Amino acid sequence: MTYLYQTFLVNPLFNILIFLYNNLFDFGISIIILTILVRILIYPLSKKSLETQKNISLIQPKIKEIQEKFKNNREEQTKALMEFYKANKINPFGGFLLLLIQLPIFLALFSVLSSSFGSDQFNGLYFFIEKPAVLNYLFLGMIDLAKPSLVLAVLVGITQFLQLKMMTGLQSEKTDQVKKTDDFAADLNKKMVYFFPPLATIITMSLSGGLALYWIVSNLFSIFQQEILFKKK
């Protein structure tokens, strides 16, 4: 399993990164482009995941109604909910399953960027990809991406906050009926918006600047994607 993961995910991403570096001569810009390419590749998956979350939030009144109607019979409640989801062509587990599919890709990117700063940084390089004499980790000639960066860590927190804030706003577009019965979920979402971004900043303060840059670009792509998907709706 490790061999397949390394061969079909980590190595291809690493070789694309080095190919980009060979042509752009800037490690940071190479990371940005690689991140965008990956996000474009999994765009159909993340789009479906976002749409599933949005659709479920919109049908919350009916879900609450079913749950209340069969509150004393869990089996009938589950059956009624499944029939309702099926009638509305919604997979309640779609968002979760799609996130699971995306997880190996993001872990592979994490592995690629981590290994790029190690002593065996060119391990797994394809024979047709030119090996750089040395990797210059300076981003725009200013930020050393091989070391933790306070500036990038703060930007991770800011972009994470904006992304979560936007997502929470989309999920909160519900009827008054749902808002009254969904206070716990709303409160939890609100806490996540203000708790996770500072945590993300603290985490990235101990990681390389390259990983922080990847996180920033990924957050910005998510913000752009959410804006495009839901503004037109």
Each residue of 142-170: pLDDT tens digit?
999 999 999 999 999 999 999 888 877 65
- CB atoms < 10 A from the CB of 156, how many? 27
SS3 label, residue 143: strand
| 10 neighbors 116 (Cβ within 8 angstroms) | no
Give the dihedral sign, CA 56/62/65/67. Answer: negative
For the residues 207-225, what does the mean pLDDT come to? 92
Give the whole-angstrom CA distance, residue 113 versus residue 102.
Answer: 17
Helix H, strand E, coil C: the string for 33-46 is HHHHHHHHHCHHHH
Residue 139 backbone phi and psi in degrees, to 5: -95, 115
* Overall average pLDDT of the 174-187 stretch: 49
Does the pLDDT of residue 191 top 80, yes or no? no
**Average confidence (pLDDT) over 71-99:** 79
| Whether 33 contacts 46, CB under 8 Å | no
% of the chain beyond a pLDDT of 90: 36
Tell me: pLDDT of 186 over 70. Answer: no
Q: Which residue has the higher pLDDT, 117 or 211?
A: 211
93: exposed, middle or buried (C-beta count within 10 Å: 0-12, 13-18, 19+)?
exposed
Output the CA–CA distances (angstroms, integers) from residue 63 to 13, 68, 92, in the order listed: 42, 9, 11
Name the pLDDT band for 177 (thresholds 50, 70, 90). very low
Residue bearing tokens 């979760």: 96
The stretch 11-36 carries a mean pLDDT of: 94
pLDDT tens across 3-12, in order? 888 888 899 9
Weakest mean pLDDT among 17-21, 27-31, 116-120: 116-120
Give all strands (DSSP E) within the chain, no chain letters.
138-139, 143-144
Q: Where are the beta strands (DSSP E) in 64-192?
A: 138-139, 143-144
Model confidence band, residue 187 (pLDDT cutoffs 50, 70, 90): low
Half-sphere exposure of 174 (CA within 13 A, CB side): 25
Please give the Cα distance from 201 to 154 (Å, whole number): 6
Please state, rounded to an integer, the average pLDDT across all residues of the chain.
83
